[in-house]
Amino acid sequence: MLTFKDCVCLAQARVIEGKRKKAHICTIAFHQPTKNFVRLCLPFNSSQESRIRRWDNFSFVGQLDKKDTRKESVSFGRLLSVQGKVKEKDRPAIHRQVLTKYKHEAEYNEERESIGVLVFDKSTIRFKQKPLTEREEEYRELMSRKGLYFPSYKLYIWGKSPQFKGPFEKQLLQWDFFEAIRKGIDPLHEFKRFKEPYAIVGNIPWQRKSFMAVSILSAPLGFVKYAQEQQLAIS
Whether 60 and 129 map to the same domain: the answer is no
CATH code of residue 17 = 2.40.50
Lowest mean pLDDT among 116-125, 156-165, 204-213, 225-234: 225-234
> Are residue 19 and residue 102 in the same domain, yes or no?
no
Q: Are residues 203 and 109 in the same domain?
A: yes
Interatomic CA distance for residues 232 and 230, integer angstroms = 5
Q: Which amino acid is at 98?
A: V
Together in a domain, 51 and 146: no
Mean of the pLDDT values across residues 159-182? 92
Residue 81 has pLDDT above 90, yes or no: yes
Same domain, 7 and 101: no
Domain total for the chain?
Answer: 2
Domain that holds residue 104: 90-234
Both 95 and 194 in one domain: the answer is: yes
Q: Show which of 86, 115, 149 is a domain's final residue.
A: 86
Give the separation between CA 18 and CA 158, rounded to whole angstroms: 28
Rounded to an integer, the average pLDDT of 48-70 is 93
Whole-number average pLDDT of the chain: 92
Same domain, 124 and 194: yes
Statement to judge: residues 222 and 121 lie in one domain = yes
Q: How confident is the model at residue 231 (pLDDT cuts 50, 70, 90)?
A: low
Q: What are phi and psi of 13, to 5 degrees?
A: -80, 160
Residues 73 and 117 placed together within one structural domain of the fold = no
Burial 104-140 (b: 16+ CB within 10 A, else e): ebeebbeeebbbbbbbbebeebeeeeeeeeeeeeebb
Indicate if 99 and 33 belong to the same structural domain: no
141 and 101 within one domain: yes
Distance of CA 138 to the CA centre of its chain: 24
Residue 103 contacts residue 233 (beta carbons within 8 Å): no
Gap between the terminal Cα atoms of the chain:
38
pLDDT(233) > 60:
no
Residues 131, 113, single domain; the answer is yes
